Chains A and B, each alone.
Chain A
Amino acid sequence: MTPIEKVEGRAIPFGLKNVDTDVIIPAKWLKTISREGLGQGAFETLRADPDNLFDRPEFQRAPILIAGDNFGCGSSREHAAWALGDLGIRVVIAPSYSDIFSGNAVKNGILPVVLPQAAIDRLMAVAATDPIHVDLDTQTVTTPFQDRFTFDIDPFRKMCLLQGLDEISLTEKSEAAIAAHEQKIAKTQPWLTPTLA
């Protein structure tokens, strides 16, 4: 996973509320058995409109997406995070996310920044013409106009994103605790292990 520390560049001033994962990547794109190439299908329904934001020259490979409340709601498909990543997005900024989406984003090296609506409104205005700077280390979003917004992030997620860590290797360090739990269950609740009678 590519680590994230500082991301600077154009931000797509999308701003829509309750964008579900069907909008981010329609179901017909779920039929892959690999992770690459999904950027083509990202926001496909919206991009059918020739005037759409995503295909404007200034927003090609823009690393930041500004969205509205409850971004990534709906289906748990991780393809949504893969599609954003394949489109070149490294940071999403929104007032809130669905829990599943923000988890999937972090696992795929995309930083979900939470900022209040007023900050979003300001960033939307800046993004129309100018780049935005996101610094994960200092947890700040800044603009060329002296705006400075700080955001909160779970420290574990922050560490994973900063170091580009793979969660499975991290969990494997807890092998002894996992084995102990399994042994306890085998003893106290043997019926929990399914067998066909």
Chain B
Amino acid sequence: MTRPRTLYEKIWDAHVVEQRPDGTCLIFIDRHLVHEVTSPQAFAGLRASGRTVRRPDLTLAVPDHNLPTTARQDAAGNRLPIADLESAAQLAALAQNAPDFGIRYIDAVAAEQGIVHVVGPEQGFSLPGTTIVCGDSHTACHGGIGALAFGIGTSEVEHVLATQTLLLQPAKTMEVRVEGEVGRGVTAKDVILHITGTIGAAGGTGHVIEYTGSTIRALSVEGRLTVSNMAIEGGARAGLIAPDATTFAYLKGRPYAPKGADWDAAVAYWTSLATDPGATYDKIVVIDAADIAPSVTWGTSPEDVVPITGLVPAPDSFADSSKQAAAAKSLAYMGLEPGTRMQDVAIENIFIGSCTNSRIEDLRAAAAVLKGRHKAAGVKWAIVVPGSGLVKAQAEAEGLDRIFTDAGLEWREPGCSACLGMNPDKVPAGERCASTSNRNFVGRQGPGSRTHLVSPAMAAAAAVTGRLTDVRELMD
């Protein structure tokens, strides 16, 4: 009888090409997603060594990080120039490298363009049970459909382009089980913020986290992608959620998904991947969904999470002395006083977008709060950035764009936008942003920017009141 295995172990075992005596494995990579920021040096390396891309058919390139989210074409359909010369150089490099190396490329003005982690599942290019890599740390996102997905650096991008493999050490396994029904106003984002606050920013280091339990099972695929997206914020190498009927219904009929008899064979295989009864994890954390409130971060580490009804903590409330020092620094950077009610914190900027929360369900949740309302006078900048051109088209078909613009928010073109201070969408120094992205690090949304991570519904609520707000107060 074979030993009971976890979902992670099954995917890992199916991809081992070779095992080295020290346990390091050469792992086959089924899907490689490429964007403009972490690839130019990799392609340059291939050229310098005279290498080619081994499996262009398993590789998909799309620009996202650098693209401005304002109009990309004029009324006549001519491309508008990109003002930042370095951004323009990276984008031009990708547009050149993809055809040079025979890689599928989604152009900046194509209907399918979007954030790489939104595009992969949406196109059915990302599939359950596959290994997926991308030169972006939020590649863990694809774990939401049951893919083992890692963020990699540029040397590894070059290695995968050249060999379609990666050298990896097996990870330890961790189960984060969330059980029960979530309360009113609690979304997938609140679930993952609460998990991150509970396990800490290094809680999953060296592990692959499998999210299990009735709360996770009840999430849509969009919600699962949100949860797995932030596995890395808990220090984990990757996140995983077992593929099930919800996953299959989401993927069926997508452009690159298997068709006909292939589909049935694929579903049978994917179904067999679920963790076996009796399989063990190296670490288990159990969370009661009833304990999860609409959540918000107060500091500059994603573990700095409190319920929206909570207070800014005092540094000396932490047991660990280095956390006390970090908290004091965070509070100084964030301009917050211990004991302040989170709901009294005024917000000047709103960002609804990023690969964490820019899918159609996220936009619907924000629109439901904003419908018939208007942003507060104190909110200077509020943008909604759909995750892809297809999400954008769907939202427009549902009239969500008008709800946003009627409420005084800007409706933008797809891209990473204000998730990172790399394109023109930045939060000014010293100002706060209620942001649906995944990182609240120092300077992440622009030098001096102060980020409060929240769900799309909570970001919308903050837009309406001009302060961090318990979305439940705005729900009927």
Q: 8 Å CB contacts to B: which residues of A86-125?
A: 96, 98-100, 103-104, 107-108
Is B30 an interface residue, CB under 8 A from the partner?
A: yes
Q: How far is the CB of B145 from chain A (nearest CB, A)?
A: 14
Chain A residues near B136: list those with CB within 8 A. 75-76
Q: How far is the CB of B148 from chain A (nearest CB, A)?
A: 14
Interface string of B157-180 (1 = CB under 8 A from A): 011001111010100000000000
Choose the segment among B83-91, B210-218, B365-373, B400-408 that binds chain A (4+ C-beta atoms closer than 8 Å). B83-91
Chain B residues near A100: list those with CB within 8 A. 137, 151-153, 237
Contact B30 A31 (CB under 8 A): no
Contact A78 B155 (CB under 8 A): yes
Tier of interface size on chain A: 35 or more
Chain A residues near B258: list those with CB within 8 A. 191
Which residue of chain B has the shortest Cβ distance to A80 in the bound complex? B153
Chain B residues near A195: list those with CB within 8 A. 256
Chain A residues near B167: list those with CB within 8 A. 156, 167, 171
Q: How far is the CA of A103 from the CA of B24 in the complex (A)?
A: 13
Q: How far is the CA of A96 from the CA of B254 in the complex (A)?
A: 42
Is B202 an interface residue, CB under 8 A from the partner?
A: yes
Q: How far is the CA of A17 from the CA of B301 in the complex (A)?
A: 11
Chain B residues near A99: list those with CB within 8 A. 205-206, 237
Q: How far is the CB of A75 from chain B (nearest CB, A)?
A: 5
Q: How far is the CA of A102 from the CA of B422 in the complex (A)?
A: 24
Contact A177 B18 (CB under 8 A): yes
| Interface size in chain B (residues, C-beta < 8 A) | 75
Chain B residues near A28: list those with CB within 8 A. 421-422
Q: How far is the CB of B332 from chain A (nearest CB, A)?
A: 13
Of B163, B201, B237, B420, the residue contacting A168 (CB under 8 A) is: B163
Is A181 an interface residue, CB under 8 A from the partner?
A: yes
Contact B265 A171 (CB under 8 A): no
Of A22, A31, A98, the residue contacting B441 (CB under 8 A) is: A22
Contact B58 A178 (CB under 8 A): no
Chain B residues near A154: list those with CB within 8 A. 22, 24, 169
Q: List 13 A-B contacts (CB under 8 A).
A: A22-B442, A23-B441, A27-B443, A31-B84, A33-B40, A34-B41, A76-B153, A98-B205, A107-B156, A168-B159, A172-B162, A189-B265, A191-B263
Further pairs besides A76-B136, A107-B156, A191-B266: 6, Cβ < 8 Å: A33-B93, A34-B41, A70-B205, A75-B439, A171-B26, A171-B159
Residues of B within 8 A of A (CB): 17-18, 20, 22, 24, 26, 28, 30-31, 37-38, 40-41, 44, 49, 51, 55, 57-58, 66, 84, 86-87, 89-90, 93, 124-125, 127, 130, 135-137, 151-156, 158-159, 162-165, 167, 169, 201-202, 205-206, 235, 237, 255-256, 258-259, 262-263, 265-266, 269, 301, 322, 325-326, 420-422, 439, 441-444, 447
Residues of A within 8 A of B (CB): 17-18, 20, 22-23, 26-28, 30-35, 45, 68-70, 73-79, 81, 96, 98-100, 103-104, 107-108, 154-156, 167-168, 171-172, 174, 177-178, 180-182, 185, 189-197
